[in-house]
Structure 1
Amino acid sequence: MQTILGAGGDIGKFLATALRTYTSEIRLVGRNPEKVNDGDELLSGDLLNAAFVQDAVKGSEVAYLTVGLAYDVTVWERQWPVIMKNTIEACVQQHCRLVFFDNVYSYSKTAIPMMTEESPIDPPSRKGRVRARLLHMLEAAAAADGLQYLVARSADFYGPGARNGILNLLVLNNFKKGRRANWQTNAYKIHSLTYTPDAANATALLGNTTAAYGQVWHLPTSEERLTGKQLIELAAGQMKVKPQYSVLSPLLLTLGGLFSRTIKELREMQYQNSQDYYFDSSKFKKAFGVEPTGYAEGIRQTIAAG
């Protein structure tokens, strides 16, 4: 049995498909889980409930923590440590390996132009400090309780049906509606994006590779160094629209934050958009020989998926 905790998100559904390569017993856990494969076992509940998480992990060889909370730092600070504590305790008691699907928020500001698995953990944001705390919890559990875990880390992502994908939200969805695309802070800076099917396939592979545990892995991401403007132009060319876009400057985000909680939450993360943002996944490529999907093909498949 392999279990996905937070199975309803942008990664969870692709991960459920990818896991069929390794097991026929897949449990999907969430508030309202839906079957992806015919034989999936569904379990509804709240990961903030420790007893429920124990039941969710019971009998599992591997658990994948892919939950996505509301983009609200107060929610993150209140709920993420509880979810991680419950998950760690369940995995230790059930002798289950843990795969944590992570983002880059915990990295230092100076690491963003060239992120590797060795980049320093020194986040400048509140949301980043939450992510760093989760990593410390995992390290402590490994040292004290023998938890077997790995970190599968993704850059900002995009892909078919990605409700929270940066490229989906700012560019593709707007073009579909006949609107101008948007970009944050500076469209002339490089910005790596991880394709969600690649991320899911790689996460499944890592979870089923014993030697991968005890390590941080950057999930396969295109080596192309495209700027926001180039990504917008690539998408516009495929959608046969003009590559018109607006830049959401820090001032606009500040003003917009007066009326939108989501926009307000973006302000502290603009250090990731005011400089190059390059995510190196050469470690994964070297270890597994997997080539990430290029942006042209990834955007084509995302558009085709509707």
Structure 2
Amino acid sequence: MSKHVIVGAGPVGVETARALVAGGHQVISVTRTGNRPAVSGVVPVAADASDPTRLTEITAGAHALYNCANPSHYGNWEKVWPPLWSSMLRTAEATGAVLVSASSLYAYGPVDAVMTEQLPDKATEKNGRIRAAMWAEAKQLHDQGRIRAVEVRASDYAGAGVGGNGHLTRNVPAALAGRPVWFMGDPDQPHSWTDVLDVGRALATVAEHPGAYGRVWLAPTNPPRSAREATADVLAEAGRPMVAMRRIPDVFVRAAGLVNADFRQFGVMSYIMKRPYVIDSSAITAAFGLAPTPWGEVCRRTAGLSTVAAD
């Protein structure tokens, strides 16, 4: 049994903790409030992870430090991430813990092909550049031998506990109630959806394999489904009919962005939902045997009918 420290107790942090506890490890969850994740056996610690001295104290002796943080606002990443990421890098160097980071596809920027780990990070908008710079810094320190680092990227989240943090999941309560849902973008474009369960499994797995370090991996993800298809699939698993799906007008997003930084960034990143957004995660399957949770089970988890994937 080894010690593992997870920063963040959102859906990815919870699933990472669940995977690690199932593997017999000691797991510490670090949040500002010290709230305990809904996973038996996890030790909650209240701390500001942006404080490298405190985070180093907590992480001392750990095999791995996991970045599962998720800033509550989309529009202020340039304020939140630099001190938090600097603290994690310094802690990884001071303790020798493997830095295992959960990330998104934003660093790639808009692409016209299926996304794989071989794509270069070419994002030009703010949040994508921030994510790309974070990995570039970790990779440089890894290549210099100062830390050990690995990153797992995922597409839009599906599964249990995601709620308003996902383009698909935020519409599920209204859809289950039979109400029309509103979608930001084109609901008929092919799109990849990654279950947070599979992100957690991927993070826990790569942390245990030194051969995985020093590179990016894409979390196990099912073949793409459009937002309309995915919503219909979730409703079908719950025994409910499909509901009307309406597009949020671009003019509304632009107007909201004039007064709200989150909406302003949503508008900048809207390409994600207006064009095909598809990944090929076969590399992690080939390397570690990690296949995505079956799509039907993902839909049941997204509908709130199941919280743990079937074996």
Count of residue pairs the alignment pairs up: 301
In 2: Cα distance, 1:219 partner to 1:256 partner: 33
Partner of 2:236: 237
In 2: Cα distance, 1:24 partner to 1:285 partner: 23
Deviations 1:118-152 (A, max 9, x none): 11211131111111111121022223452111011
Partner of 1:131: 131
CA contact under 8 A between 1:24 and 1:39: conserved in structure 2? no
In 2: Cα distance, 1:147 partner to 1:23 partner: 25
Partner of 1:268: 268
Q: Does 1:206 align with 2:206?
A: yes
Q: Percent identity?
A: 22
CA contact under 8 A between 1:193 and 1:221: conserved in structure 2? yes
In 2: Cα distance, 1:258 partner to 1:233 partner: 33
For residue 159 of structure 1, report the CA deviation from its aligned partner. Answer: 0.9
Letter in 2 for 1:201: R
Partner of 2:97: 96
CA contact under 8 A between 2:92 and 2:98: conserved in structure 1? yes
- Is there any run of 5+ residues in structure 1 with no aligned partner, and where? none
Letter in 2 for 1:81: P
Determine helix, strand or coil for the equivalent of 2:293.
coil
- Structure 1 122/258 Cα, relative in aligned 2: closer, same or farther at 3 Å? same
In 2: Cα distance, 1:127 partner to 1:211 partner: 29
In 1: Cα distance, 2:74 partner to 2:133 partner: 16
Q: Does 1:49 align with 2:24?
A: no
- Structure 1 262/122 Cα, relative in aligned 2: closer, same or farther at 3 Å? same
Partner of 1:110: 111
For residue 60 of structure 1, report the CA deviation from its aligned partner. Answer: 0.7
CA contact under 8 A between 2:21 and 2:42: conserved in structure 1? no
What's the RMSD between the two structures over aligned residues?
1.9
Q: Does 1:174 align with 2:174?
A: yes
CA contact under 8 A between 1:4 and 1:16: conserved in structure 2? yes
Letter in 2 for 1:41: V
In 2: Cα distance, 1:23 partner to 1:93 partner: 25
Partner of 2:157: 157
Determine helix, strand or coil for the equivalent of 1:276.
coil
Q: TM-score, normalised by structure 2?
A: 0.90
Partner of 1:184: 184
- Structure 1 255/237 Cα, relative in aligned 2: closer, same or farther at 3 Å? farther
Partner of 1:286: 286
Deviates more, 1:187-196 or 1:260-269: 260-269
Letter in 1 for 2:102: F
Instruction: Choose from 36, 55, 67 the match for 2:69.
Output: 67
CA contact under 8 A between 1:2 and 1:23: conserved in structure 2? no
- Is there any run of 5+ residues in structure 2 with no aligned partner, and where? none
